């Protein structure tokens, strides 16, 4: 369990760094496993698709994401510690030839226009004060008909957590509207509920939304 005060935990979740980074990455994997599995199921990557993930942490769920034959993966991460740990995981999983993490920011993706078939971002919206610039970037890099899956905590639920004071909590309808404005058609929604431990070690009822949208 992570023994960090609320402020430190929030800063680590925003961008894992320093001595705690690797432990934070492992904690996120435990805390977010079921939500990542749900997002991967909803995105349903097909054979030979190019996948982009924003803020993947240490890339623990990439082997599950890349089940489809010939599918490839790029993860863009703000945290250099997560990029290093993630690329080690990918190599250990035998995926280094078709998956990689790169340091970068969702606001300026180092990715060519219309080069991505499917994208996802799990538990990363809270670090974007304004969704529009990131969703516009996603619209730029996704091909027409490409999909994006966004998974994020319900705003009312997130407000009950002791470490989310500085998080940007987006209401479900605001995320849907921002997706439409950025050039997407929302085509799927799932609620994800579980009773499980969070990154602060406390067990509680968790409530998340998953949105699937298609690039118009």
Instruction: Indicate which single residue of 4, 9, 10, 16 sits in contact with ligand SAM (rule: CB under 6 A).
Output: 16
By CB under 6 A, tell whether 13 contacts ligand SAM.
yes
Question: What is each CA distance from 118 to 22, 171, 204, in whole angstroms?
Answer: 27, 23, 31
Q: Does 38 bind ligand SAM (CB under 6 A)?
A: no
In the complex, what is the shortest distance from the CB of residue 124 to ligand SAM, in angstroms, rounded to a whole number? 4
Question: Least CB distance from residue 97 to ligand SAM, whole Å?
Answer: 23
Of the candidates 4, 78, 85, 150, which one interacts with ligand SAM according to CB under 6 A? 78
Q: Does 182 bind ligand SAM (CB under 6 A)?
A: no
**In terms of Cα–Cα distance, which of 31, 57, 63 is closest to 45?**
63
Nearer to ligand SAM, 138 or 145 (CB): 138
CB of 128 to ligand SAM, least distance (A): 6
Q: Is residue 86 near ligand SAM by the rule CB under 6 A?
A: no
Q: Is the dihedral of CA 173, 174, 178, 179 positive or negative?
A: negative
What is the footprint of ligand SAM within residues 55-74 (CB under 6 A)? 55-57
Asked whether position 75 contacts ligand SAM by CB under 6 A, the answer is: no
Q: Is 198 in the site for ligand SAM (CB under 6 A)?
A: no
Q: Segment near ligand SAM (CB under 6 A), from 90-98, 121-129, 163-171, 206-214?
A: 121-129
200 sits near ligand SAM (criterion: CB under 6 A): no
Through-space distance between the first and last CA atoms of the chain, rounded to whole angstroms: 43
Query: Smaller CB distance to ligand SAM: residue 70 or 130?
Result: 130
Write a three-state SS string for the chain. CCCCCHHHHHHHHHCCCHHHHHHHHHHHHHHHHHHHHHHHHHHCCCCCCEEEEECCCCCCCHHHHCCCCCCEEEEEECCHHHHHHHHHHHHHCCCCCCEEEEECECCECCCCCCCEEEEEEECCHHHCCCHHHHHHHHHHHEEEEEEEEEEEECHHHHHCCCCCCCCCCCCHHHHHHHHHHCCEEEEEEEEEEEEEECCCCCEEEEEEEEEEEEEC
Contact status: 157 vs ligand SAM (CB under 6 A): no
Pick the binder of ligand SAM from 6, 8, 11, 15 (CB under 6 A).
15
Residue ranges binding ligand SAM (CB under 6 A)? 13-16, 28, 32, 36, 54-57, 76-79, 82, 105-107, 122-124, 127
């Amino acid at each position: 369990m992570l023994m960090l005060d609320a402020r430190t935990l929030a800063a680590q979740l925003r961008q894992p760094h320093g001595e705690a980074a690797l432990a934070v990455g492992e904690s996120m994997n435990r805390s977010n496993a079921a939500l990542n599995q749900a997002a991967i199921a909803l995105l349903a990557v097909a054979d030979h698709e190019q996948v982009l993930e924003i803020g993947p942490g240490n890339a623990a769920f990439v082997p599950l994401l890349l089940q489809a034959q010939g599918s490839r993966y790029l993860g863009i991460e703000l945290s250099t510690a997560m990029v290093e740990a993630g690329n080690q995981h990918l190599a250990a999983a035998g995926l280094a030839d078709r998956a990689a993490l790169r340091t970068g920011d969702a606001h300026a993706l180092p990715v060519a226009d219309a080069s991505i078939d499917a994208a996802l971002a799990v538990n990363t919206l809270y670090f974007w004060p304004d969704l529009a610039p990131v969703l516009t970037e996603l619209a730029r890099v996704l091909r027409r008909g490409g999909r994006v899956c966004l998974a994020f905590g319900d705003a009312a639920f997130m407000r009950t957590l002791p470490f989310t004071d500085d998080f940007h909590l987006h209401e479900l309808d605001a995320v849907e509207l921002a997706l439409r404005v950025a050039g997407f058609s929302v085509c799927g929604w799932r609620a994800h509920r579980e009773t499980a431990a969070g990154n602060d070690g406390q067990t509680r009822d968790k409530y998340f939304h998953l949105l699937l949208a298609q690039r118009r």
